[in-house]
């Protein structure tokens, strides 16, 4: 699961992901924590021009075939399992045709029994920014067009297994462009992660 993450807000770091005509288009400011239904900037490919750019999108994918009111969409679609995405009606089209990259500083997970929950902040082990593999869609609702996305998840790798059974798919810098343009990418290749226990203020490397 990945249901809470910090958006990358440093324009200089975001510029590493993609060259935009104007950095004024990049969200900047204090750290912003995103949870389902809130918006975050994701990188997508323009299907007509082939150029890459930022798109503000809702965290929690609303499929193109949904035409109801946004408030009535109750499905939990902020994560898409890598093993099942192509088979699910909600994710099938985006998995095949609409990929995105979600830039982030960190994400959060919880471990332990309900009576003693531990909150963890996870970053890349090499201190590089995170780039989640995502899928996106556009739904036409009575309120207007809604752009939204989901983050792909996979079974937890060696670094993450101590606190959770799953983790978001983190792309390496050499994979961003290929994923956005729907070229083959090794989505099961694990990136180094570093965990900080926010409850006890300890770290796992």
Is residue 15 scored above 70 in pLDDT? no
- Look at residue 126 in the predicted model and tell me its pLDDT: 87
- Look at residue 193 in the predicted model and tell me its pLDDT: 93
Is residue 75 scored above 90 in pLDDT? yes
Rg (CA), the chain: 17
The Cα–Cα gap between 152 and 102 comes to 10
What's the total number of domains in the chain? 1
Tell me the pLDDT tens digit for each residue of 81-124: 999 999 999 999 999 999 999 999 999 999 988 888 999 999 99
Per-residue pLDDT, averaged over 3-31, amounts to 62
Is residue 127 scored above 50 in pLDDT? yes
Tell me the residue range of the domain where 127 lies. 5-204
pTM: 0.89
Per-residue pLDDT, averaged over 20-30, amounts to 44
Return the CATH number at 119: 3.90.1680.10
Maximum Cα–Cα distance for the chain, whole Å? 52
What is the pLDDT confidence band of residue 191, given thresholds at 50, 70 and 90?
A: confident
Average per-residue pLDDT for the chain: 87
Is residue 192 scored above 80 in pLDDT? yes
């Amino acid at each position: 699961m990945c249901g809470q993450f910090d958006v990358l807000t440093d324009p200089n770091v975001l510029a590493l992901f993609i060259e935009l005509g104007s950095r004024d288009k990049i969200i900047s400011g204090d750290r912003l924590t995103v949870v389902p239904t809130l918006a975050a900037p994701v990188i997508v490919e323009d299907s007509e021009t082939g150029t890459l750019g930022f798109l503000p999108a809702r965290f929690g994918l609303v499929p193109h075939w949904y035409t109801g009111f946004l408030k009535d969409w109750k499905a939990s679609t902020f994560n898409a399992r890598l093993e099942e995405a192509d088979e699910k009606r909600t994710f099938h089209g985006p998995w095949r045709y609409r990929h995105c990259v979600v830039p982030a500083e960190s994400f959060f997970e919880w471990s332990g029994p309900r009576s003693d929950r531990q909150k963890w902040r996870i970053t890349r082990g090499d201190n590089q920014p995170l780039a989640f593999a995502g899928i996106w869609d556009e739904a036409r609702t009575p309120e207007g067009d809604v752009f939204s996305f989901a983050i792909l998840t996979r079974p937890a790798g060696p670094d993450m297994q101590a606190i959770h059974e799953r983790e978001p798919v983190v792309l390496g810098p050499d994979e961003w462009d290929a994923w956005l343009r729907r070229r083959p990418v090794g989505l099961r290749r694990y990136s180094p992660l570093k965990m900080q226990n926010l409850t006890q203020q300890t770290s796992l490397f």
